[in-house]
Homo-oligomer: A and B are copies of this chain.
C-alpha cells in the first residue's frame, strides 16, 4: 500500500486544498526491469501550477484523478533491474506519492555527497540550479563586471542565480523578495542590495538600488518587476525570462510592461527559456556549482515541510512566497 495525491479538480485562479485528493493505493509487485522506490523528498515548484491547467503548454497537463508528478529523491527498496540495488539513492519524476513501482530506465542513480543533503538534487544541483546557471550564463549571456537584478531572489532559482552572478564577478547584484526577513537573508547571501517589493513601487526601489542601471535581469516574476527592469536596463541589456509567478494564478490578462517599446532605443533582448532545453549543461553546472557547494562558497537554503498530506499546503505556500530557498516536502 502507498499514499499519493491525485489532481481532484483544476483550479481557476489560486489553487486550494480542494483541488487535491489524498488517496491510498495498492502497488503492484515490481516486474522484470522495474524497481520499487520509497520516496524520501519531493519537490514543489512554480511550474507545476501550469500543469494543473487543461492547457497546451511545454509540458502536458496533469490528468484529473491521477497523481501529480515532480522531481523526487528516493531509495530503492526492491530491484528487479540490473544496475540498481536495494539502498541505492535515485532521482526521478514520480513525486506526490510515498512509494512508486517504475521502470528502471525512468530513474537515475545518484551519488550521496559528503556533507550535503540529498535534497540538493532537487535544488541547487538539480533543475532549479540548472535553471539559474543557464538562465544567467547562456540565456542572458552575463559577463564579468555587469550589474544583475534578480526577482524572486529568495526562491530556489533566484537565490542561486544571484550567488552565481557574485561568484562570476558581477559588479553589483540586486535582489527583490516579498518580506523584510527575505531581504535580510539576501544580504546574508552576499547580494549588494535588496528590497521588499511590498514596500513600494518596484521601479522606484530598483532605481535606488541600482543607481547606475542594470545589464542583466533574471525574471522570475513578470508584471511590475519586468517593467521596472526595462526602466533600469542599460543599453544592450538582456532579460532571461524564466517565469512569471505574478501571473500564474491570474484569471484576467495580466498587466504588462507598459514601457516595452524602450527595448528598441536601448537595444534590449528579452528571451524566454525552459530549463528542459538545456540539460546538456547539467554536467557543467554540477561541476562548477557542486565545487562551490563543497567549498562552502554557495549557500542553498531550504524550507522543508513534513508529510505527503502537507504537500498541497507546501505548494500553495510556495505560490504565496512562504518559502526561503528551495521548498521541499519530506515524505
Contacts and interface: CB of A to CB of B under 8 A. Distances in A.
Interface of A: 50, 57-58, 222, 226, 235, 241-244, 247, 253-274, 277
A272 B263 contact: yes
Contacts of A269: 269-272
22 contacts: A57-B265, A58-B235, A58-B265, A226-B260, A242-B264, A243-B264, A244-B261, A244-B264, A254-B258, A256-B256, A256-B260, A262-B272, A263-B272, A264-B272, A264-B273, A267-B271, A267-B273, A267-B277, A269-B269, A269-B270, A269-B271, A270-B271
Contacts of A254: 258, 261
B267 A270 contact: no
Contacts of A277: 267
Contacts of A272: 262-269
A222 B266 CA distance: 15
A235 B272 CA distance: 10
B255 A222 contact: no
Contact of A222 (B226, B242, B260): B260
* Closest 5 pairs between A and B when the two form their complex, measured CB to CB: A256-B256, A263-B272, A253-B258, A244-B261, A264-B272
Nearest to A244: B261
Nearest to A219: B264
A247 B256 CA distance: 15
